């Protein structure tokens, strides 16, 4: 069992090149002096929107702890659309409309991991808009 004085000395441990280790960092030290690094927190909800073709690949992604709302999904999809030049935006106009409709039709609880592609009809160059929910839920409706 450690005495309080031992803990106090440990919390004020000095390391060459560092004046003093803050108490919060010292609590992450092992007895042998090595630092225990906290595991990175992987986002619970992530995915992306993509505009693609044989000559284009643009995307707008999300990775967050909170659910992606339908409102934020529309905002990200619109941001992707606005990054395209006029020609590519016109080519995919119907694709973006169908992708926005997919978000609207997700329902109040949203959708789980899924991939949905909206190809440009009548073109053979792979022009399309994709929705890729990789993990968690997306397009939930908040009241």
pLDDT of residue 2: 47
Tell me the mean pLDDT in the region 24-30: 57
Find the Cα–Cα–Cα–Cα dihedral 62, 40, 110, 83, rounded to 10°: 0
By percentage, how much of the chain surpasses pLDDT 70? Answer: 71
Per-residue model confidence (pLDDT) at position 36: 65
**Which CA distances in Å does 9 have to 4, 31, 32, 37?**
9, 13, 15, 21
For 99, residues 6+ apart whose C-beta sits below 8 A from its C-beta are 49, 77, 116, 118, 129, 131
Mean pLDDT of the 8-12 span: 49
Q: What is the pLDDT of residues 66-123, one digit of tens each?
A: 999 999 999 999 999 999 999 999 999 999 999 999 999 999 999 999 999 999 999 8
Nearest C-alpha neighbor of 127 from the set 91, 76, 94? 91
């Amino acid at each position: 069992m450690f005495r309080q004085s031992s803990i106090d000395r440990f919390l004020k441990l000095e390391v060459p090149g560092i004046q003093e280790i803050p108490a919060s960092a010292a609590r992450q030290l092992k007895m042998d002096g090595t630092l225990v690094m906290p595991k990175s927190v992987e986002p619970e909800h992530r995915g992306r929107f993509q505009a693609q073709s044989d000559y284009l690949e643009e995307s707008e992604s999300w990775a967050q702890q909170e659910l992606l709302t339908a409102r934020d999904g529309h905002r990200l999809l619109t941001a992707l659309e606005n990054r395209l030049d006029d020609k590519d935006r016109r080519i995919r106009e119907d694709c973006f409309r169908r992708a926005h409709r997919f978000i609207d039709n997700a329902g109040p609880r949203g959708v789980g991991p899924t991939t949905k592609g909206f190809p440009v009809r009548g073109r053979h160059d792979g022009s399309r808009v994709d929705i890729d929910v990789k993990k968690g839920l997306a397009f939930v409706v908040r009241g």
